[in-house]
Amino acid sequence: MSNETIKLKKENPDPAQKDSQPTPNFIRNIITEDLKNNKNDGKVITRFPPEPNGFLHIGHAKSICLNFGLAAEFGGQCNLRFDDTNPTKEEDQYVRAIKEDVRWLGFDWQDRELYASDYFDRLYEFAVQLIKAGKAYVEDLTADEIRAYRGTLTEPGKESPYRNRPVDENLDLFDRMRTGEFPDGSRVLRAKIDMTSGNINMRDPVLYRILHASHHRTGDKWCIYPMYDFAHGQSDSIEGVTHSICTLEFEDHRPLYNWLLENLKIHHPQQIEFARLNLNYTVTSKRKLLQLVEAKLVNGWDDPRMPTISGLRRRGFTPQSIRNFCELIGVAKRDSMVDIAMLEHCVREDLNQHAPRVMAVLRPLKVVITNYPEDQVEEMEAVNNPEDPAAGKRKVPFSKVLYIEQNDFREDPPRKFFRLGPGREVRLRYAYYITCENVVKDEKTGEVVELHCTYDPATKGGWSPDGRKVKGTLHWVSADHALEAEVRLYDRLFSIANPGGDKETDFKEHLNPNSLETLTNCRVEPGLANAEAGSRIQFERQGYFCVDPDSSGKKLVFNRTVSLRDSWAKIEKAQKVD
Ligand code: ATP
Ligand code: MG
């Protein structure tokens, strides 16, 4: 009896394996041009700036691949900078999760784990500098009044009565804001720019607010916090960032980004915007994903149905497949919706090369080989991966009682059903030809519970000496040797393509009620006994699966990463024909 375990690799064998060749995009072109002109002394410094208020999703992966990828490509560096300016929403668990995800994707920030909160002192000094230059003032209007004064897209704003406070008074009030004299929301610091600007972001934007809240890193040191727009550009500048790459929604903020750097007279990175990734049948917004987690509509941030990096990892995606996907979708200036079939295609392609094949029966139907000797067990030789000869072969036990897949048998087979039926002959993969002689049914329900078949001993290995052909090849496991397993089948998280698109309905109403199907009576090859969590395999004829962290020696648990059928390949083929 073979106790041989299947050798499973958790990651691709060669981490240095080259990703697909970079395709040109407008950001690469800008950087190439800058280098040609020796701008920034020939340096390229980028950053990935997550706010630690949730787990990263596939959209962030695009930004990570872009920022780290470009830095690597041009011999520069990419910083991991946490934009942690909102203490009420940020948590340390998110910082840890983000670091794990970026590292898992294959990127290294070395010693540059940076935090906007580390710059709070300098940001405060920058604010004081603006006040002294007459370019910022303390505002006493309430939030509602500020909004009313701001005007609209078609109407200019009005100047606040506090706008022309003397510098000394502003300095005094800002200092007292810092020392905690005033309650939340009672005052803010604003930039003094232009209340009539066509760009609302330039109508004296708020730079600092009062927030008596404890921060995950600075504790109670501060009770005023910089706004995102004030922290972000100045943090870029402090770090010497050369190309500050962000998503399109920040395009309208660029004039403010530039204004602040110019008026502070500090190093001026170039902000470049690109279109964010939108993926159909899911949502790529931390805010929405948080709602799903909090309402327990999914099993946490790393639920394999989630588009989070941790969810994709648990589902069985490889870092390489996600990097390939990010390269394939490219970088554009216009928002668009990417087909999730493309992401599935990328993981299929990668796993096809690296995942060992095994046989697993998800919905077992008992087959008794009536003419097979009672206690005999044969070791059948099976190929581990036809795409990779180095993966070698293994032995799979064969015996008198087997399981096959329920849907590989039809009592009344329709046309083109080439699998098993009464009186039909099929091949059992790596084993023998068998013929179905008798169907045993449950007396009460009429359900097929067992098949009695005969085998042809001359067909060992799956080939007949007389050259007769069988049309179907089925996978199977030996009943006595197979291991019981739970298999979780995942489908799309939402049942409509654009769940966030309809503003009238709550996106949560479009959750797919059948996104998870749990099968508890599956049988897998004995070689999977010690499969470690995270190991990825192909169940022949079914799809790619990985071992879930819930799995144990007592109870194996597998997640279906993706089925074998590739709808993206079909779409692509059809497009090429057009
Ligand atoms: P969300 O809308 O999901 O909350 P966010 O933009 O608020 O995302 P951040 O933590 O601020 O999340 O994002 C960090 C970086 O990732 C930013 O530079 C942001 O532009 C980028 N990013 C976020 N979502 C996407 C996306 N869907 N596609 C590409 N880049 C993204
Ligand atoms: Mg953001």
Catalytic residue among 28, 39, 43, 51: 51
Ligand 1 touching residue 268 (CB < 6 A): no
Q: Which ligand is nearest to the CA of 49?
A: 1
pLDDT over 90 (residue 573): no
Give the Å distance between the CA of 63 and the centre of ligand 1: 7
pLDDT, residue 425, reads 97
| pLDDT at residue 50, rounded to an integer | 97
Q: What is the mean pLDDT of residues 148-168?
A: 97
Q: Which atom of ligand 1 has the smallest separation from the CA of 286?
A: 3
Ligand nearest to the CA of 52: 1
pLDDT tier at 503, thresholds 50, 70, 90: confident
Residue nearest to atom 22 of ligand 1 (CA): 60
3-state secondary structure 344-391: HHHHHHHHHHHCCEECEECCEEEEEECCCCCCCCEEEEEECCCCCHHH
pLDDT at 227: 97
Is 51 touching ligand 1 by the criterion CB < 6 Å? yes
Predicted pLDDT of residue 568: 66
Nearest alpha carbon, ligand 1 atom 13: 50
The closest-lying atom of ligand 1 relative to the alpha carbon of residue 276 is 28
62 lines ligand 1 (CB under 6 A): yes
Ligand 1 centroid–CA 176 distance in Å is 34
Determine if ligand 1 sits within 6 Å of the CB of residue 60: yes
Q: Name the residue of 27, 60, 285, 286 to mutate for ligand 1: max ligand atoms within 8 A of Cβ.
A: 60
Probe ligand 1: pick from 25, 62, 63, 79, max atoms within 8 Å of CB? 63
* Mean pLDDT confidence for 123-144: 98
Pairing of strands 425-428, 243-247: unpaired
Rg (CA), the chain: 31
Output the pLDDT for position 504.
Answer: 87
Cα–Cα distance list, 103 to 2, 53, 64, 97, 284 (Å): 38, 18, 10, 10, 20
Q: What is the pTM (predicted TM-score) of this model?
A: 0.92
495 in contact with ligand 1, CB cutoff 6 A: no
Q: How far is the CA of 288 from the centre of ligand 1 (A)?
A: 13
CB-based burial label for 292 (10 Å; 0-12, 13-18, 19+): buried
Going from the C-alpha of 463 to that of each of 319, 398, 427, the distances in angstroms are: 39, 16, 8
Residue 66, number of CB atoms within 10 A of its CB: 21
Tell me the CA–centroid distance for residue 276 and ligand 2, in Å. Answer: 11
Instruction: Tokens for 79, please give them.
Output: 């910083």
- With a pLDDT cut of 70, the percent of the chain lying above it is 94
pLDDT tens digits for 221-249?
999 999 999 999 999 999 999 999 999 99
Confidence label for 574 from pLDDT (cuts 50, 70 and 90): confident
Show the CA angle centred on residue 375, arms to residues 369 and 381, nearest 5°: 70
pLDDT for 275 beyond 90: yes
User: Cα(331) to centroid of ligand 1, in Å?
Assistant: 14
Report the pLDDT averaged over residues 8-22. 49
Model confidence over 340-381: pLDDT tens digits?
Answer: 999 999 999 999 999 999 999 999 999 999 999 999 999 999
Q: Is the CB of 63 under 6 A from ligand 1?
A: yes
Q: How far apart are the first and last CA of the chain?
A: 55
Give per-residue pLDDT as tens, 49-101.
Answer: 999 999 999 999 999 999 999 999 999 999 999 999 999 998 999 999 999 99
Say if residue 12's pLDDT is above 80: no
pLDDT reading at 126 higher than 70: yes
Average pLDDT over residues 522-549: 97
284 pLDDT higher than 80: yes
Q: For residue 60, report the distance from its CA to the centre of ligand 1, in Å.
A: 6
Ligand 1 atom nearest to CA at 67: 18
Can you say whether the dihedral through the CA atoms of 85, 86, 91, 95 is positive or negative? negative
Q: Residue 17: is its pLDDT beyond 90?
A: no
469 carries an active-site annotation? no
CA of 512 to the centre of ligand 1 (A): 25
Q: Catalytic: which of 47, 286, 315, 395?
A: 286
Establish whether 18 is a catalytic residue. no
> How many CB atoms are closer than 10 A to CB 444?
6
Statement: residue 567 has pLDDT above 90? no
Give yes or no: 51 in active site.
Answer: yes
CA of 56, nearest ligand number: 1
% of the chain surpassing 90 pLDDT: 90
Say if residues 430 and 478 touch (Cβ distance below 8 Å).
no
Give dist(CA 437, CA 439) in Å, integer.
7
Cα 475 to ligand 1 centre (Å)? 44
Is residue 364 within 6 Å of ligand 1 at its C-beta? Answer: no
From atom 3 of ligand 1, which residue's Cα is the shortest distance away? 285
Q: Which ligand is nearest to the CA of 309?
A: 1
What is the average pLDDT value for the chain, to the nearest integer?
A: 94
